[in-house]
Chains A and B, each alone.
Chain A
Amino acid sequence: PWCPVTDMAGVDKLHPTFRGLVENLLNGSSTFIRGGNIDVCDCATGDIEVQSEQSDCDRFCLNVPYCGSVLRWHVLFDSQHPKFPPDIVLDASDSSFCPVLTDISSLTEWDPSDENSLRLVVYELLELFRKHQLHVAEQIDHIKFNTEFLLESDHYCRFDVHVKRREGSEDNVRVKLYIQLPVAFSSLPAYLTSDSLGDDQAILAVTFYSSDAAHVTPKLKFSPSLERALGSITNIRIPRWGDEFGSCLMDYVPEVCKRIEDKFEEISAAYGKRKELVSVFLSHFGSSLIEYDAERFSRMTFLLSYQGFQCLVHIDISPVYPRDAPVFTLQSLYHELNNQPYHMMYQDHQWYSSSLTPEDTVAKTKSVHKES
């Protein structure tokens, strides 16, 4: 699953000197982290006279999402010397990653007055980790073939790679690639992306399970807000690895991008159709409008009058309209059944066809209601 959304709760326990640095890191990490957000935990203090429950912690652990795993980097400031750069203890699970301190300019040239300082350190360390993992991965020929394509490509060069070897076994290798896909989320209707504040990502996660590429599983991942908006990811069917789109990323990744873009176009077109239908209904019956969904254009309610009596008509528009007919529900203003306003749904859609224009749909609706 996607890593947790940024949790700012741990930040309150930090010494005020370091709080701004960490907040800056947490708020800005989505620009360089793929597949999640960094979070802070295990806050503690190095001062034995201060209890950790107070808001004076000067050391903490960063959970850094990387290729579906989490790197745990411990950051140790010194509240007695707040201007000093922190010590960083890297994840013990990957002992082969040992960057040289002099290679990390954001640490050697630490600026305590710059609130971006910690974010720059984490960014730089992560870049070094990526390069290290890439170097390890490229020792495997078919992985190198695929990563070279990604590196040389203009569109797919934003990726992470992670090599995990079972201890004691040179052959039992799992190589995971997280490729950030260059998909235009701006083509989606605003209501689908309004929660994410511009941090949406589409990631193609490809896992190579053995050293000869015989077993590969690709998976598509979206940022949580987008996944909620788009519904289940299985709505976008990505091709099986090894089928007509080949067994290499050069052929596979562009096809996945195309399928996502096609899906987005389908969603946008359906949104446009719903909006058009709503506007035609409003132009005919606006003076009897009760309410309509001005965000998704998925429903509208009007007040209907017949021989001095009134009722409501709810019109629900499917996400796949015009393929599916709008659903009409008449609801009484006077009667209840089982403690709810009495209503009756129209199920008979013999008059409906997906080729009907919105104007024709309105005209048919009028005659259907008259008959009912």
Chain B
Amino acid sequence: MYKFMLPCLPVDLFSCSKPRSMLSLSKMAVDMFVKVKSRIDSRHQVALVALQNTAEWVCDFTSDPFRICDTLSSLQSQPTADEFDLSELLRVINDHVILPEVPDITLPPPYTVRVILIYGRSSCVPSIQSTECREAFSRLTQSPYFFLDVLYIHEISSDSNNCENILDALYHLDLRLANYCLEASQHTVKIFNLMGSLLAHPLQRPFQDERKPWRVC
């Protein structure tokens, strides 16, 4: 059973002194992710959404990791806006994704759909402002075959930013407690390690607080 995956990449990672390197880092992490996923099972398909003030579906579902990587490399950084409305992202997902309908829930579905939201702002708390989109989101998350994982890359939490509130808002997107919400403060190895955790198949992986790499010691 394969997956449709949707890394949503912020092109406005302007939150540190070297904004372009953070975008590059995110791109490299996603690049690694799609190539490894393809190696694990070539039937996995990935699409790409770029997040600015709106959400743009920049690459349709494909099992060719190099197509995703080429699209990734073409993304340019953009100025940050003051607020971030997830409604646009949800609209784009609704327009492009069809969830499987499986009459018998004990049978494996033909595929699952997972959104991986990589959020890079340290001052802007995300929200779903549209009521219609909030309802659509609720419907999506009711399906046992839809997952929304989050990787939050942020500055070191301080009084001058809003990291705690943002992390709280992102945690609350997980209505079924089946998703992963991971955070890292611009630590390169940690970001790649967390992307490694996100490689796990959502129907086979442990719950987030039960995950533990196989330690060689």
A positions within 8 Å CB-CB of B: 285-295, 299, 301-306, 308-310, 312-314, 331, 333-334, 336, 339-341, 366, 369-370
Contacts and interface: CB of A to CB of B under 8 A. Distances in A.
B139 interface: no
A290 B215 contact: no
A366 B216 CA distance: 8
A287 B206 contact: yes
Interface residues of B, number: 29
B195 interface: yes
A304 B204 contact: no
Contacts of A295: 1
B172 interface: no
A286 B206 CA distance: 7
B26 to A, nearest CB: 14
A291 B211 contact: no
Nearest to A303: B213
B32 A341 contact: yes
Main SS at interface, chain A: strand
A331 B39 contact: yes
Given A312-B196, A333-B193, A341 B36 contact: yes
Closest 3 CB pairs of A and B: A305-B213, A288-B214, A287-B212
A294 B108 contact: yes
A368 to B, nearest CB: 10
Contacts of B192: 310, 333-334
Nearest to B212: A287
B81 interface: no
A310 B193 contact: yes
Nearest to B196: A333
Contact of B40 (A291, A336, A369): A291
Given A294-B1, A303-B196, A312-B196, A289 B216 contact: no
A291 B206 contact: no
B80 interface: no
A290 B199 contact: yes
Nearest to B31: A336
